[in-house]
Every structure is written in structure tokens, then in C-alpha cells.
Amino acid sequence: EDQVTQSPEALRLQEGESSSLNCSYTVSGLRGLFWYRQDPGKGPEFLFTLYSAGEEKEKERLKATLTKKESFLHITAPKPEDSATYLCAVNFGNEKLTFGTGTRLTIIP
Amino acid sequence: DTEVTQTPKHLVMGMTNKKSLKCEQHMGHRAMYWYKQKAKKPPELMFVYSYEKLSINESVPSRFSPECPNSSLLNLHLHALQPEDSALYLCASSQEQWGGTQYFGPGTRLTVL
């Protein structure tokens, strides 16, 4: 069964303290890996799409990378407004997204 | 523009009521989705419409009835819901049917009394 696992479940960082979130998946014909940010009570906000190993994308303080079995979301010098739940989702070759359980990120001023 | 809109933002209904959730996108996307999300859980897929035809129904109870009147609109009709159906209901759309990026709406917070 295709699975997506995110770690850590929760992460607390001081403002300016860089770190990485991990998303690993079963290697089974990946058709795309997606990162979303979700604030409480709101819909997921699209961040990045990655399709092939070695691909990297950046947006402001965020950088997403992809290998053959995992993806990292690197957060550089985070600010309190970066606090949110970050969701990773994988398309294994059908119309569905398989979501990880998310990483709840808290940035402390 | 990658906007998906949903109405209403909040909905409170009794178990005997009939209500509808609405979703709209004007990005020319041909696939649209309904998800249900409980607190601190990832979204769970309910239905997929592809080219206005229902292509996936994830064994959702019949008290949830989807409808796709045209390529821009998606409805979810609700009837005889249970308190455990209270959740955030999310609509999403994607350009490609297979593997494309899904863009989500802001959601409807549903409370069933």
C-alpha cells in the first residue's frame, strides 16, 4: 500500500532557527509530490510541486527538495508567521493524493 | 489566478435538515474534488469529478450527494447528517486529471447538531 510519512509530528523553533521537515514515501511510481501549508480552520495553501529526484524549488524562506524516497522542506530563518501545519501529499499515478499526517510548526518570537 | 471559492464559510444544521455546499473555480480546471477534514487530521478524499463526470466515490454514505452542474461548479448536497459528520469540508480543483497540482478552497466549517 502506498504510504506517506511525515516527521516530526510537531516542531517548535525559535525565530531565526533554521530546520527541515521530512516527507518519506513508498517508492511506487511517484507522479508528483506536493507541499501545502495549512492554517487552523482554513484550506491548504499550495506551496510546491516536485516531479523528479534532484528537483528543488524555493519560495521566500522555504526550499523543497526531492530524492527517490523522500522530500525535505527546509525553512531558513523562520518568522512567527511561518507557524502552521505543513502537509506533504503524493500522487502515485491516479487521481488521488495520499497525504501525510502533517508537521505542526510553531515559531517562537 | 489560482482561486477556488466555497460558500458558505460556516454552516450549522440539524440532523433532519437539507443543505448544500457550493464550490466554484474559473481556472479552466477539468477535475474537481470534495474532501472532509477532521481536526488535526489530513484531508480525506470523498469524491472526484473529471470532465463533469463522477470518477471516484470513496464509499461515502448516501447522505452526501455530489453534483457537478458544469465545469466550474461543484455542489455537495447534505441530508440527514449525523453529528460525527461535523468537519471542515474542502473543495479542490486541478488542471490535469492525473498527477496535477490540486488547489484548495478555504473550506466550509460544518456543524451538525
- List, for residues B22-32, the tens digit of each pLDDT value: 999 999 999 99
- List, for residues A29-64, the tens digit of each pLDDT value: 788 999 999 999 999 999 999 999 999 999 999 999
Tell me the three cell numbers of residue B109. 466549517
* Least-confidence region, from A24-28, A97-101, B36-40, B49-53: A24-28
- Interchain pair B42, A31: CB under 8 A: no
pLDDT at A92 over 90: no
pLDDT at B99 over 70: no
d(CA B30, CA B96): 7
pLDDT category of residue A95 using cuts at 50, 70 and 90? confident
B97 or A7: which leads in pLDDT: A7
In angstroms, the separation between the Cα of residue A107 and the nearest Cα of chain B is: 18
pLDDT category of residue B62 using cuts at 50, 70 and 90? very high
Predicted pLDDT of residue B96: 76
- Interchain pair B106, A91: CB under 8 A: no
d(CA A25, CA A30): 9
Q: Are B19 and B9 spatial neighbours (Cβ–Cβ below 8 Å)?
A: no
Q: Does B49 touch chain A (CB under 8 A)?
A: no
Top residue of A30, A59, A95 to mutate, by most chain B CBs within 10 Å, is A95
- List, for residues A57-76, the tens digit of each pLDDT value: 999 999 999 998 999 999 99
